[in-house]
Structure 1
């Protein structure tokens, strides 16, 4: 089992992610109240319960820090340079459908730069962590599985009123000849890229300061995975995210994405 270095902020992040995961495990498969966000998206009582527990953990350890959650918004630390970004249940629709592709995302940004991150996968009990340029997984003996996977996840949450790269890319015959595409809508896929469980991940949109993406992007960066915007520039420079386990896969995905860019 890989063990993280003894860093106080990282310990808080891991403890918060585990606390949220424990709540979700207890509520998984139960009847839950839902609050609609859009016609196809919603929050459940589990989202709110997990976020409150995470807030308690972080607030007890770091009472002066800022906290921004997916459900509660900014609740503490207005003006603080240290801000925790939390998505207590990334993959709510999967969770509600009793599908195990969901996670708890916790990241600390200091002056806008991500310093530590923890992504918990409640069904397995694993916690993926990043501390600057160090990466590891708690709850697993091996960090990297066999390298023969060809799985590439594509985020399906694109705009409703215009074509978007994800939908077009999933139907590209060239992609299907080389990779095994899977259409997902949870940032757990980025954690899986960092660990080698996925070969790549593609999503549209702009995600700077996102409670969904900040933690798993940090994982990929700490694990040494190529991760950029759609133009191959540093992530957040332009639109989209392309992440991969190796430079060759990343370059090939960028070429395929370029075919489907819209004005």
Structure 2
């Protein structure tokens, strides 16, 4: 039965359900399922996705869903589609690193503002859930209190995704950006290897986040849709690595707390390319 909850509330509850599973299974000896190219899933990825899907199926039975592990379900051309990444940072998790996230986002083509209209990104170990209703962005702490997300570049910390493949090499490599004198003069690199760092930009804990990647990063990405929606709702500057909207251009992602930070990073990327 369809619930009376808002889509944002459903996203928050679904991400929280997945996070509970990830937290409960942490430290256990987990079966790995190889995907090829060095990528793999664990039993925790699959169990967390099932927990998320259980919430979505009960609350929004007519909506389509795409899960990282289970693939696409529902009508191929559905106007409303949930995008689920049940455990972003699987390698971190598998080796006992707690830097992970559970991402849930709703893309609604029938909305008056088509795009991602609700999203949540849960940190299983801090107990925080970052969420948006498409208009504003908040974080709910483990104590249940909610605070509005306010971006800030004050930390000067920039998170870089260094995972292969590198579709823009040799013209651009994030690892080379870290060695650029202009970057070193103004920023300090971090490598979290999880999209929880994207939510941290919205929360003012990172000045920026940058990743390489192919085109179409936003519309159908189970990994990034939630984080991008959070950052846009919080007022961050979000583009591809060429400065174009993330739905267009070469792909990749630059998320910055403000225009000044975004401009500096975009300039560094363009000089490298």
Question: What is the TM-score when the length of structure 1 is the normalising length?
Answer: 0.91
User: How far 1:250 sits from its partner (Å)?
Assistant: 0.7
Aligned match of 1:154: 160
Q: Provide the alpha-carbon RMSD of the alignment.
A: 1.9
Q: Distance in 2 between matches of 1:212 and 1:147?
A: 23
Q: Is the 8 A contact 2:151 2:236 kept in 1?
A: no
Cα distance 1:39–1:240, how it changes in 2: closer, same or farther (>3 A)? closer
Cα distance 1:246–1:160, how it changes in 2: closer, same or farther (>3 A)? closer
SS at match of 1:13: helix
Aligned match of 1:76: 74
Q: Is the 8 A contact 2:210 2:253 kept in 1?
A: yes
**Given the alignment of the two structures, is residue 48 of structure 1 paired with residue 46 of structure 2, yes or no?**
yes
User: How far 1:147 sits from its partner (Å)?
Assistant: 5.8
SS at match of 1:30: coil
User: How far 1:260 sits from its partner (Å)?
Assistant: 1.9
Count of aligned residue pairs for this structure pair: 256
Aligned match of 1:30: 28
Deviates more, 1:160-169 or 1:46-55: 160-169
User: How far 1:173 sits from its partner (Å)?
Assistant: 2.6
| Alpha-carbon displacement from aligned partner over 1:4-32 (angstroms, at most 9, x marks no partner) | xx961111101100000000000111110
Q: Distance in 2 between matches of 1:237 and 1:76?
A: 26
Which 5+ residue runs of structure 1 have no aligned equivalent? Answer: 1-5
Deviates more, 1:21-30 or 1:111-120: 111-120
Question: What is the TM-score when the length of structure 2 is the normalising length?
Answer: 0.88
User: How far 1:170 sits from its partner (Å)?
Assistant: 2.2
**Given the alignment of the two structures, is residue 195 of structure 1 paired with residue 203 of structure 2, yes or no?**
yes
Q: Is the 8 A contact 2:236 2:258 kept in 1?
A: yes
User: How far 1:144 sits from its partner (Å)?
Assistant: 4.5
Q: Distance in 2 between matches of 1:56 and 1:22?
A: 13
> Which of 42, 62, 65 is the aligned partner of 1:64?
62
Q: Is the 8 A contact 1:227 1:242 kept in 2?
A: yes
Aligned match of 2:243: 232
Deviates more, 1:77-86 or 1:162-171: 162-171
Aligned match of 1:180: 188
User: How far 1:158 sits from its partner (Å)?
Assistant: 3.2
| Alpha-carbon displacement from aligned partner over 1:177-210 (angstroms, at most 9, x marks no partner) | 2101112322111101011110001111131310
Q: Is the 8 A contact 1:20 1:54 kept in 2?
A: yes
After TM superposition, the structure 1 = structure 2 runs for residues 3-18 of structure 1, keeping only pairs within 5 Å, are 8-18=6-16
| Alpha-carbon displacement from aligned partner over 1:87-137 (angstroms, at most 9, x marks no partner) | 000010111111121100000011161100000001101010111121101
SS at match of 1:22: helix
Q: Distance in 1 between matches of 2:234 and 2:151?
A: 14
SS at match of 1:37: strand
Q: Is the 8 A contact 2:153 2:206 kept in 1?
A: no
Q: Distance in 1 between matches of 2:13 and 2:198?
A: 21
Aligned match of 1:220: 231
Q: Is the 8 A contact 1:154 1:166 kept in 2?
A: yes
Q: Distance in 1 between matches of 2:65 and 2:194?
A: 21
After TM superposition, the structure 1 = structure 2 runs for residues 72-221 of structure 1, keeping only pairs within 5 Å, are 72-111=70-109, 113-139=115-141, 143-144=149-150, 148-159=154-165, 162-163=169-170, 164-205=172-213, 206=215, 207-208=217-218, 209-221=220-232
Deviates more, 1:53-62 or 1:6-15: 6-15
Which 5+ residue runs of structure 2 have no aligned equivalent? Answer: none
